[in-house]
A and B are shown apart, each in its own frame.
Chain A
């Protein structure tokens, strides 16, 4: 009887044999399934192996993750995850920062649950945490991270930060002429020739950067007002594109992966990281209280903090990986003793400073809408 059923199942699986889908590579025996190429401490590896086996045993096949970065950018990361844990698929949903709360609210209200892991930027992570939407889970893999990236309660840990620097058009601006300070950029030469992501919006990049700079005392309100009057706003990726196209000479706090991609395609764009115009926007990983795939979700969170995942993040995705000894993303210089973004506020300090500084930023940059 059983042999006959196995035979039939084998027949049914035949058409799939040629496909490289994770489901097809699903290990037959969850209890003895082993992840491939695990890195990190022994405890961390043991924890992940256990989570992987439990996920398989519970019939979990996928883990759904919400974040706000372009789908294809993450591809190398999900591929690495799926390679490490055969039988599990990472389903990514790109939800903009402003929409993610509606989404979580609605899932909670309707009881229709989808999201397992959230990976929101530092500027909204607190709002979500405040509503009690996170489950605590401190993976073993995060133990060796600097304390600033770790959460004692295990709600939000920070495996990565998006890296932003100054992008410039190499045809319009010779490397030696690239402005490096507020004083430089406010010269008449750059008037209406530079863009940056609009502050006081849900896209918190510039907010983070300016909050950090204000905290360090590197910029004054007058300089910010001058910055507002002499420059233009652009979207996170549009700005880099405008520089690549030659519409603008410079994008301040420009998103590194976009520069990498367009540069690779032959666009005349390059990036540098002067302290005034560079920043890191930390992204926190958290398990949803509505989690549908509890084991796979924990596994994904744990895995993000492994050396392997950190290396993929830095080298292939172009993110700043927060792990100890993780490689730097391309073009990013090693930390200087001087200042640099990584000497700035920790995520938790940033959250507080962002909330406190928002009215101030609004009063500078959001003139039209809130007048």
Chain B
């Protein structure tokens, strides 16, 4: 009964070497794809840091960038800002996310059922427009919130919230980051063995003591993983800072890299490369630290049969927590989306006359919008599927290929995490431009797609790892001993059992891809501009209302696809359950 069901420290956890050692050969294609997609561009990036011109173009070798970049006070300032933002928002978001996950999964707090859907919506909302939503809501000038307060109180200069400050920026980033961390914690929270809580309760500990002393430490690997992710995404943050940090001139590593590439009079690729590589090294060091701290302690949890009705009873406090959840849902989901929705019927922020749906008609009249929506749909679906497929194969390769393979794969797939999307796109462009054969992809939608796969790979790996961790290797081994080949066993058992998780991962990866802005800004194929870039253009030009209308349309489209997918998932999970039970019957 104490069979390990899930480990959280790594998707490639404890089941290494169980399927024998012939694996590396079998998984060679997977490793090759990962290499071309992730390692080769990184190598090009490294090459770029030593050259005066982009790889593939005539230039000279130089060490100048390495020597000079950190001597620039502005760079040092932005490094400090990045670290501050990253750690502060992560600490706050991790606490909030853990608390919400706990309330949602383990207690009887009111409104708990709304948490996960709301957070999925937040996750699906691209950061750029999350920021836009808040900017429209909480700026000190035309911010809806402040204007409502002004008209209610009659005070002309009343400013209740100014989102475009350090505090506002951090607050908004925390709210957004909670979504990311929460989604990584929710699985582990669900898998928590309720008997651990019960043992603590019967031992005399209260509900919250149990949370602190039992749940939280057991979740340590998952939590540190999520925190690491939070820190990494914090170091990567770009869009929010560009939008909300402007009035305070808040610059971070990524905006500095972006500046080196696009704003400076001559693109300074070498220094951009140096900064990117430094970021990667920092993240590698953090990963190493996490592995070191957790050491050999990989916590297994008993196959989670979390029974409904075993939620912790919060008693009278449940209303307090319900109110807190409500407040959070309002601040994190209702307010920004409401703000975008309202802006979409306003002619212009701050103008309260002539509210109408005209913006929607207008946006659809723009020649590129409909083709762009279709391009985005195809691109997102394709990229999501490819990324999840590759991730499952990579996790499987890691499981089968021995500890060293697993570590290599894990680190490889984390590479894009360390690179802001702009840098990933750049590195991919360099890698493909300088490689004969791969050159043929340049300027096509396929290269855009490949770069997006690279960007979404860390997420896909996490999703695939979590999905695969639910599946005991025994099940696959049982298929092997029943005479199935390796791929056959994977297809017959594992893939079918992870189908619901796979579909969810696919959907999420597609959502992330549809919001990806950095890649199309650099790599879009002529005439095939994804919708995020179109929205960005509109927003950039100050056409907020039309941008908001388009944003609402894409949100609705995503919701439609999501609900459709959910229906499929429902049907699918019934199927999987039947398969599981028939499998169990076969084995007994």
Contact = CB atoms under 8 A, between A and B. Distances in A.
A–B: direct contact at CB < 8 Å = yes
Contacts of A198: 263
A363 to B, nearest CB: 13
A267 B348 contact: yes
A316 interface: no
Nearest to B426: A102
B264 A112 contact: no
B582 interface: no
Given A71-B529, A237-B541, A266 B57 contact: no
A288 B541 CA distance: 28
Interface stretch (A152-160, A222-230, A243-251, A319-327): A243-251
B348 A73 contact: no
A266 B347 contact: yes
Nearest to A65: B526
Interface in A219-258: 232-235, 237-238, 240-241, 244-247, 258
A39 interface: no
Nearest to B368: A71
B537 A368 contact: no
A154 B441 CA distance: 33
B72 interface: yes
B526 A91 contact: yes
Contacts of A233: 249
Interface in A170-189: none
B429 interface: yes
Contacts of A112: 439-444
A262 interface: yes
A114 interface: yes
Contact of B527 (A91, A113, A369): A91
A241 B262 contact: no
Contacts of B267: 98, 101-102, 202
Interface in B223-282: 246-247, 249, 259, 261-265, 267
B54 interface: yes
A72 B259 contact: no
B542 interface: yes
Contacts of B534: 71
A348 interface: no
Contact of B139 (A105, A235, A247, A265): A247
B262 to A, nearest CB: 4
A258 B541 contact: yes
A109 B56 contact: yes
Contacts of A267: 347-348, 350-351
Nearest to B142: A245
Nearest to A62: B527
A111 to B, nearest CB: 7
B586 interface: no
Contacts of B296: none
B348 A265 contact: yes
In this complex, the member of A70, A78, A369 whose beta carbon has the largest number of chain B beta carbons within 10 angstroms is: A369
A182 B440 CA distance: 53
A368 B441 CA distance: 39
Given A96-B262, A109-B433, A201-B265, A246 B348 contact: no
Contact of A235 (B57, B140, B351, B540): B540
A289 interface: no
Interface in A76-90: 78
Contact of A105 (B54, B74, B262, B525): B54
Contacts of A64: 526-527
A154 B73 CA distance: 45
A247 B249 CA distance: 15
A261 B537 contact: no
Contacts of A54: none
B544 interface: yes
A266 B433 CA distance: 47
Given A91-B526, A91-B527, A105-B57, A369 B444 contact: no
B366 A246 contact: no
A72 B362 CA distance: 11
A357 to B, nearest CB: 11
A240 B264 CA distance: 22
A266 B354 contact: yes
Contacts of B402: none
Contacts of A201: 263-265
Contacts of B349: 244-245
A244 B348 CA distance: 9
B443 A114 contact: yes
Contact of A98 (B262, B432, B439): B262
B538 interface: yes
B198 interface: no
B545 interface: yes
A19 interface: no
Nearest to A108: B57
A37 B349 CA distance: 40
B347 A114 contact: no
B111 interface: no
Contacts of A78: 367
Interface in B455-470: none
Q: Which 8 A-B pairs have the closest CB atoms?
A: A241-B542, A368-B74, A110-B439, A110-B442, A265-B347, A98-B262, A266-B351, A265-B348
Given A70-B540, A93-B527, 16 more contacts: A93-B529, A102-B522, A106-B443, A109-B57, A110-B439, A112-B439, A112-B442, A112-B444, A115-B526, A233-B249, A241-B544, A244-B542, A261-B541, A261-B542, A266-B354, A371-B74
15 contacts: A71-B529, A93-B526, A99-B262, A106-B56, A106-B429, A109-B56, A200-B264, A234-B246, A237-B541, A238-B246, A245-B350, A261-B543, A262-B348, A267-B347, A369-B72
Interface of A: 64, 70-73, 75, 78, 91, 93-94, 96, 98-99, 101-102, 105-107, 109-115, 198, 200-203, 232-235, 237-238, 240-241, 244-247, 258, 261-262, 265-268, 358, 362, 368-371
Interface of B: 54, 56-57, 72-75, 77, 139-142, 246-247, 249, 259, 261-265, 267, 347-351, 353-354, 366-368, 429, 432-434, 439-444, 521-522, 524-527, 529, 534, 537-538, 540-545
